[in-house]
Amino acid sequence: MQRYETQRRKAYVVRLTIAQLMITFVGMLAAYLVADLEGVSSVFKGALVALLPHAFFIKRMGVLRGTSPSKAAMRLFRAEAGKFGLTVALFVAVFVAAPPSNPTFFFYAYVAVVLTHWLTPWLMPKNANA
């Protein structure tokens, strides 16, 4: 049973990542049509600020490996705290070191990638044995 749950979590993470990357590329295409390369750069930065902390959370939480649930709450707390800290650091780094040329595209991309979690359960198979 543990192996099945690990495979199911991996499938969820892969599908979520694919959905996030698709949203990023669609946003980059839309930004290119509206604002040329400056818009594409802003969308890319916004998506990166959303994707990197998400990847950190997955790695830190141990979602992709079968782990015992005994310390799950502590792992969840540490992973979420690290994700929040990394998000803040990336926002500061982007706006200080390389400010986006179009902040609207930046924030649209960030929000779209973050909210992809709400849509991804539709990508999972309905059958528990699938």
- Name the residue ranges covered by the structural domains of the chain: 2-123
Q: pLDDT tens-digit profile of 25-54?
A: 999 999 999 988 889 999 999 999 999 999
CA-CA distance, 11 to 64, in Å (whole number)? 9
Q: Which residue has the higher pLDDT, 110 or 58?
A: 110
Cα distances from 17 to residues 36, 63, 72, in angstroms, run 26, 14, 23
Cβ(59)–Cβ(82) below 8 Å: no
pTM: 0.82
Other Cβ atoms closer than 10 A to 36: 11
CA-CA distance, 128 to 130, in Å (whole number)? 6
| 2 pLDDT more than 80 | no
Position of tokens 């490996």? Answer: 65
Q: pLDDT tens-digit profile of 80-117?
A: 999 999 999 999 999 999 888 889 999 999 999 999 98
Q: In this predicted structure, what is the pLDDT of residue 127?
A: 54
Q: If pLDDT is split at 50, 70 and 90, which confidence band does 8 have?
A: confident
Q: If pLDDT is split at 50, 70 and 90, which confidence band does 58 have?
A: confident
| 13 pLDDT more than 80 | yes
Least confident of 19-23, 56-60, 115-119, 126-130: 126-130
CA-CA distance, 105 to 83, in Å (whole number)? 22
